[in-house]
Amino acid sequence: MIYDYPRAAAGVLVVRGDDVLLLERAHPPRRGFLDVPGGFMEAGEEIEAAARRELREETGLALGRVDMLGFFWDTYFLSGFGRFPVMNFYFVGHWRRGVPRAADDAASASWVPLGALPRLRRRFAWAHMTPLFRELARWARRRSAADGPARG
């Protein structure tokens, strides 16, 4: 019997106003496609710590408080190894300072308007990114409603 054990991955969506930070992947698989800061967890690593480590490694950024955004299944393919299931855990937090600098697995980093995400769907590295960004939009609406109307 062969068991198809899933691997755990963690990431963080960084929001600045109405924009979210996206990375262009520097390496296979899915080189050149859009992704968010994140990656595979190391043995014994806490989920949030993994997400923060990946953010720091791929962009040089650090965040204050983050919220758990959700959990999303997907698959990952490695040449010579094959396809395997991945459990993706995501957090979300507000950018405070710093310029994201693409490093490690990222070729570039850029701020993308939340409203532009549906048009970029064909460039997403992973299938789970569409429901991930839908959940991000719900999170942003809840945050906006909680903050109340702008005061002048």
Alpha-carbon distance of 139 to 27, in angstroms, equals: 30
Q: What is the DSSP pairing of strand 7-16 with strand 19-25?
A: antiparallel
Confidence (pLDDT) at 81:
82
In this prediction, residue 80 has a pLDDT band, given cuts at 50, 70 and 90, of confident
Position 151, amino acid: R
The answer to pTM > 0.75 is yes
Kind and range of the H or E run holding 16: strand 7-16
Confidence (pLDDT) at 6:
93
Q: What is the mean pLDDT of residues 3-23?
A: 94
The answer, yes or no, to whether residue 151 has pLDDT greater than 90, is: no
Position 85, amino acid: P
Q: What is the mean pLDDT of residues 104-116?
A: 95
Confidence (pLDDT) at 31:
95
Alpha-carbon distance of 29 to 35, in angstroms, equals: 11
In this prediction, residue 146 has a pLDDT band, given cuts at 50, 70 and 90, of confident
The answer, yes or no, to whether residue 147 has pLDDT greater than 80, is: no
The answer, yes or no, to whether residue 2 has pLDDT greater than 80, is: no
Confidence (pLDDT) at 148:
66
Backbone angles phi, psi at 20, to 5 degrees: -125, 145
